[in-house]
Amino acid sequence: MTDESTFKKFLMNKERIPDPMRYKKEAMHYRRAGGSGLKLPEISLGLWHNFGSFDNFENMRDMVFTAFDNGITMFDIANNYGPRNGAAEENFGKLLRESFRGYRDEMLIATKAGFGMWKGPYGDGGSKKYLTAALDQSLSRLGLDYVDIFYHHRPAPETPIEETCYALHRLVEQGKTLYVGISNYNREQTEAAVNVFRELRTPFILNQVCYNLLDRHIEQEGLKRYAEETGFGLIVYSPLAQGLLTDKYRYGVPENSRIRKSFTLKEERLTPTLMKQLDELRDLAEARGQTLPELALSWVLKDKTVSSVIIGASSSEQILDNIKINPSFTGEELKRIEEICK
């Protein structure tokens, strides 16, 4: 039985329309995706968690409204986001039909394919057959004729890179996606893809990567520098290190936290060394008039090579907290951050 407050919220969301002042709040800035003409909001909303089969649909609706009302125009999905696989696309498609039917052209909608989706040898990887079928299925779940960006979600060593890149190129030619991207490709794999995209003149604009104060692998392997030199953008996921760069674990591990239910984040990460680093970063954030997550998001956006950062959220309150950024740092602040994170 639904309680009265939940029912009232349901009715409010059903009748809600986007804020007419959403572009006049000056809460959000936009950056070009690499050398393209496409502009991305500095903060994008990711649907990896909390948009699945077992999540509250009215909370999803409230979060998407809150994001859109505050200038977040980019929504990042993948065909395997759920659980179950495809559920995030289905739920977002339902939101588009019910609440955002007239606002499609104000939104950037991106999806990805590359992980296992269906049984048999053709439901995974980077083949032309898989990527073509995967995007057709995604468009059906979303209720769209095209997406704005379609990514290959991860490298597929058993598929020639030329086949994967040509499949993405053909999907652009067919009008099923406007731009293409890659995700989780290292520098060597990215270079190989860029060479093919250049030959085909494919509108490749973004590499989606993990990057945060605690994970600098794209700096260490030279991928960040290569993006700067080559002219494509980086769009960053896990900018808060799956919650480590927040206050969530400051005083222990809550029972409903991601560490308790995630296979990608383990409690062993919470070492005394890490907790000391987080306390020192928190002190620096407070000196800047920020919280730790505000500092972490601002730091990722300090370089123009980063076109956007993708945040996840379980509530509208988290979204509102995560748009309070200031990517300007003094030299002394940047030096102190490197000392702490060394």
Identify the residue whose tokens are 């003149």. Answer: 201
pTM above 0.85, yes or no: yes
28, pLDDT greater than 70: yes
For residue 118, what pLDDT band results from cuts at 50, 70 and 90?
Answer: very high
Inter-residue contact 248 to 257 (CB < 8 Å): yes
- Angle, CA of 266, 116 and 220, to the nearest 5°: 50
Return the pLDDT at 249.
77
| 231 Rama sector, left if φ>0, alpha if ψ -120 to 50, beta otherwise | left
Return the pLDDT at 296.
98
Q: What is the DSSP string of 187-217?
A: HHHHHHHHHHHHHHT--EEEEEEE-BTTB-H
For residue 7, what pLDDT band results from cuts at 50, 70 and 90?
Answer: low
| Ranges of each domain in the chain | 22-341
Residue 170, classified by CB atoms within 10 Å of its CB into exposed (0-12), middle (13-18) or buried (19+), is middle
For residue 13, what pLDDT band results from cuts at 50, 70 and 90?
Answer: low
173, pLDDT greater than 70: yes
Fold topology of 22-341: TIM Barrel (3.20.20)
CA distance 270 to 28: 33
Q: For 71-80, 110-119, 238-247, 301-310, which range has the lowest pLDDT when averaged over its residues?
A: 238-247
For residue 1, what pLDDT band results from cuts at 50, 70 and 90?
Answer: very low
Identify the residue whose tokens are 């739920």. Answer: 91
Return the pLDDT at 252.
62
**Tell me: the pLDDT tens digits for 211-255?**
999 999 999 999 999 999 999 999 999 999 988 999 887 756 666
CA distance 201 to 256: 47
